[in-house]
Amino acid sequence: PRRQAVLRQILKNKVTSSSIYWGLRYNYLSYLNVFPELDEKNYDRAIAQLIEENYLSKKDNKLLLTIKGQHALDEFKQQHYFIDKPQLFNKYDLKLWKEILRLMI
């Protein structure tokens, strides 16, 4: 089981000692600051939808990937490129890169 808020805090780089601890335990730290503009309401809605569609289950405020969710994840990984080093995204300002790219074209 995973705590719902931990991944959101890691993605946004809203770190506390608790989120760092659980991020380390869950092996999430490579996703630190990958999505700094993540909207909490949209994130919570997406989690609620995954629960409703039975990809995740929630018990005692902790999330667990269901069998259906694991199958969907496995299928996704077979059909799509899966990022090996997501931590690279936290080193670059993507907005700045877009502006630089526009100037280069």
Calpha distance 90→32 (Å, rounded): 7
pLDDT in tens, 15-68: 888 888 888 888 888 888 888 889 999 999 999 999 999 999 999 888 999 999
Compare 75 and 4 and report the one with higher pLDDT: 75
Q: Beta-strand (E) ranges in 1-105? A: 2-3, 56-59, 62-65
pLDDT classification of 99: cutoffs 50, 70, 90:
confident
For residue 52, the model assigns a pLDDT of 96
Whole-model pTM over 0.85: no
pLDDT in tens, 6-18: 889 988 988 888 8
Residue 101, number of CB atoms within 10 A of its CB = 9
- Which of helix, strand or coil describes residue 59? strand
